[in-house]
């Protein structure tokens, strides 16, 4: 006879939140996805869980696909406004992904990274620029997440100004999956140093 859980839905919701957080931690350490299983509240039995298809993919696949969509949406907005698309910069992309992952891991959402800004990180990593900028977005839900994040940035005058700044030539984008279906998006812009 299979053990039963009291509190049914509440236990299942709490367990899903714990597993989502645990999945992120394991993925960050070993770079693999967890099997889609739920530990029952009693006797440690395993129960199958129905999960959105995006959550069944390894986080790196979800992140890479979402980052590509985010970059495409950003460049589509630039082209729609008569500007040239920005060149993808892998170094900026690595910093942008780190920024998103750091915000998820430390549960904050800010341009302030504990007393310093991303420009110090760029300097520390030897990334030179004439001008640079950063946009951040945080939202819930997997459906069209990258497009919705870009739309939200374009509705904000200061973020829109960053997306449409003619001086920028390069961009890196980063995405991190947070618990409970949240996403944190980072755009890092620069004009290369002479």
Instruction: Kindly state the tokens that stand for 76.
Output: 């589509």
Please tell me the pTM assigned to this model. 0.70
Identify which of 175, 130, 193, 177 has the alpha carbon closest to the alpha carbon of residue 27.
Answer: 177
Identify which of 38, 170, 13, 28 has the alpha carbon closest to the alpha carbon of residue 92.
Answer: 170
pLDDT the model gives residue 105 = 94
E strand or H helix that includes residue 137: strand 131-140
- Residue 66 contacts residue 59 (beta carbons within 8 Å): no
Phi then psi dihedrals of residue 72, to 5 deg:
-60, -40
pLDDT the model gives residue 18 = 46
Average pLDDT (53-71) is 74
pLDDT in tens, 84-109: 999 999 999 999 999 999 999 999 99
Mean pLDDT computed over every residue of the chain? 78
């Amino acid at each position: 006879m299979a053990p039963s859980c009291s509190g049914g839905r509440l236990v299942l919701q709490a367990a899903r939140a714990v597993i989502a957080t645990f999945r992120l931690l394991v993925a960050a350490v070993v770079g693999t996805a967890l099997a889609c299983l739920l530990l029952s509240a009693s006797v440690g039995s395993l129960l199958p869980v129905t999960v959105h298809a995006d959550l069944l993919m390894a986080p790196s696949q979800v992140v890479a696909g979402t980052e590509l969509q985010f970059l495409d949406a950003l460049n589509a907005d630039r082209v729609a406004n008569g500007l040239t698309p920005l060149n993808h910069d892998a170094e900026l992309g690595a910093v942008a992904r780190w920024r998103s992952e750091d915000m998820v891991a430390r549960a904050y959402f800010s341009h302030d990274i504990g007393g310093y800004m991303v420009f110090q990180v760029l300097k520390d990593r030897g990334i030179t620029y004439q001008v640079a900028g950063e946009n951040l977005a945080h939202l819930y839900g997997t459906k069209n997440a990258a497009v919705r994040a870009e739309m939200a940035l374009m509705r904000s005058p200061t973020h829109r100004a960053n997306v449409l700044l003619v001086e920028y030539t390069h961009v890196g984008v980063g995405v991190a999956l947070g618990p409970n279906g949240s996403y944190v998006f980072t755009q890092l812009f620069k004009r290369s140093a002479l």
